[in-house]
Amino acid sequence: MQLLHTLGCHLCEQAEALLAPLARERGWRLVQIDIATDDTLLERYGTRIPVLRDPLRDLELGWPFDAERAGQHFAD
């Protein structure tokens, strides 16, 4: 799972904190990707972060979300 974020984003920090227990429970490896390092990502997600993304299934969930919604959205 990818968490698209950028430094200094308080919503991104909230998303990371609420996703950490879910990631442990589900066995997800949560990879944080800073959109500021890639112009394409910045253009696509600049006003939408944080975004939780499963690149293998091409699924995304944009903020606002909670752990329950994220778990349901990415159920196996």
If you average pLDDT over every residue of the chain, what do you get?
Answer: 96
The reported pLDDT for the residue numbered 25 is 95
Strand partners, 33: 4
Percentage of the chain with pLDDT > 90? 97
Beta bridge mates, 32:
3
Q: What is the pLDDT of residue 70?
A: 96
- The conformation of residue 49, written as its DSSP 8-state character, comes to -
Range of the domain at 27: 2-73
**Residue 61's CATH number:** 3.40.30.10
Domain count, the chain: 1
User: Distance between CA 19 and CA 36 in Å, rounded?
Assistant: 21
Q: Is the pLDDT of residue 76 over 80?
A: no
